[in-house]
Amino acid sequence: MIDRSAATVAAIGEHALIERLERRVGRHPAWVVRGIGDDAALVEPPRGELDVLAADSLIEDVHFRRRWTAPADIGRKALAVNLSDLAAMGATPRACLLSLGLPADLPVRDFDSLLDGLLELAEASRSPLVGGNIARSPGPLVIDVTVLGSVRRRRALRRSGARPGDELYVTGVLGGALAGLRLLERGLDRGTATAGLLACLERYERPAPRLRTGRLVGRQGCASAAIDLSDGLADGVRQLAHASGVGAILMAAAVPADPGAVEAAGLLGRSPLDLAVAGGEDYELLFAVPRRRRGAFFASVGRAGEATATRIGSLTRASGVLIEVDGEQRELVASGFEHFGGRTWI
């Protein structure tokens, strides 16, 4: 018997690829009226809720490298970064679509793994794959995902809505993903790396969207604004403050650096704070919380059980975004964010 998974996608052709894809997609939840196999998918919206839509792509050699990251993790991440956008809106995922641009030399085995990685997260997050398309790419592997979610209108978390005096909270720890990326660039040997450094790679390659946290905080109405940290803390604070028409001040000492990033910082010749503030792709959430909602906020975050929340600053009446380091306030610089690739505009 021939192992067709050892061939390239060009060798087996698009019909065979589509069959492989369809075989991998399991049963749909009840709200998917029609999934793959028609001109478009039919999905039933929950009564009285809004549709929530986001699209984000991963492009080879811009957002990932095939020689660094396993295909399953690339596929998984393409969906994860989109689910993080739904989390930041307080939305519940309902479906996803996938557009693939495949280089001719991509092994079928990698195509299969990429789908398996994406579909595993699609199942875990209840966002079934309902459509999309496959085309060949004369250049990089391109993976574009669109997610559909839903949220009650008054429970949607936006970037705008925060007020002076609201407190700023971030989930989890920061800087791990950027440390992971820089370690990959330096050719870190996974075989001999410490647990802390491996955790940085894991943060970079397998981000965990904070879906339950976003949803529960949104439902309890305890945040005045929220954004996901795809482009890093500095960028997130600036975007949230700008959209809300307020200023912000961060306390550097309060910013929760990823323990792995702290360990990596020395190797990389950078400070842990620098990694935590400038580093993108951690996919944690940033919330603005009115003081009187603080208790309800912590209760929601605790109930979600995904990550702790840390208070890192406040929103201010003054314009501008400041950071206080060792008792001195300075402007948080605009060019502070770093990650591997492009920039999302929604």
Site for a copy of itself in 250-289 (CB under 8 A): none
List binders of a copy of itself among 151-210 (CB under 8 A). Answer: 151, 153, 156, 158-160
| Smaller CB separation from a copy of itself, 158 or 163 | 158
CA distances for 324 relative to 173, 329, 331, 332, angstroms: 19, 4, 9, 9
Q: Does 34 bind a copy of itself (CB under 8 A)?
A: yes
Residues 208-237 touching a copy of itself, rule: CB under 8 A, are 226-228
The stretch among 82-90, 179-187, 200-208, 309-317 that binds a copy of itself (CB under 8 A) is 82-90
Residues 287-346 interacting with a copy of itself (rule: CB under 8 A): 341-346
Helix (H) or strand (E) holding 212: helix 211-219
Window 50 to 79, contacts with a copy of itself (CB under 8 A): 50-57, 59-63
Q: Give CA torsion, residues 140, 56, 94, 224, to 10 deg.
A: 160
* Candidate residues 26, 29, 45, 165; the one interacting with a copy of itself per rule CB under 8 A: 45
Decide the pairing of beta strands 32-34 and 247-251: unpaired
By CB under 8 A, residue 149 contacts a copy of itself? yes
Smallest distance from the beta carbon of 43 to a copy of itself, in angstroms? 4
Decide whether 32 or 265 has the Cβ nearer to a copy of itself: 32
Q: Which of 64, 69, 75, 85 binds a copy of itself (CB under 8 A)?
A: 85
Dihedrals φ, ψ of 285, to 5°? -110, 145
In this complex, which beta carbon is closest to a copy of itself, that of residue 148 or of residue 179? 148
Residue 41 lies near a copy of itself (rule: CB under 8 A): yes
- Of the pair 121, 261, the CB lying nearest a copy of itself is at 121
One-letter amino acid identity for 167? E
Among 78, 91, 106, 183, binds a copy of itself (CB under 8 A): 91
Return the structure tokens found at 59. Answer: 């492009």
- The residues, ordered by sequence, that sit 6+ positions from 51 with a Cβ below 8 Å of its Cβ are 45, 148, 149, 150
Candidate residues 30, 138, 192, 317; the one interacting with a copy of itself per rule CB under 8 A = 138
Which is nearest to 199 in space by CA: 183, 210, 211, 215? 183
- Cβ–Cβ < 8 Å for 233, 323: no
For β-strands 129-137 and 92-103, DSSP reports them as parallel
Residue of 1, 3, 15, 331 that binds a copy of itself (CB under 8 A)? 15
Residue with token string 């039919």:
42
- Choose one: 97-105, 185-193, 302-310, 313-321; the region binding a copy of itself (CB under 8 A): 97-105
The β-bridge partners of 143 are: 58, 100
Which residues are CB-contacts of 74 (< 8 A; sequence separation ≥ 6)?
58, 64, 66, 114, 117, 141, 143
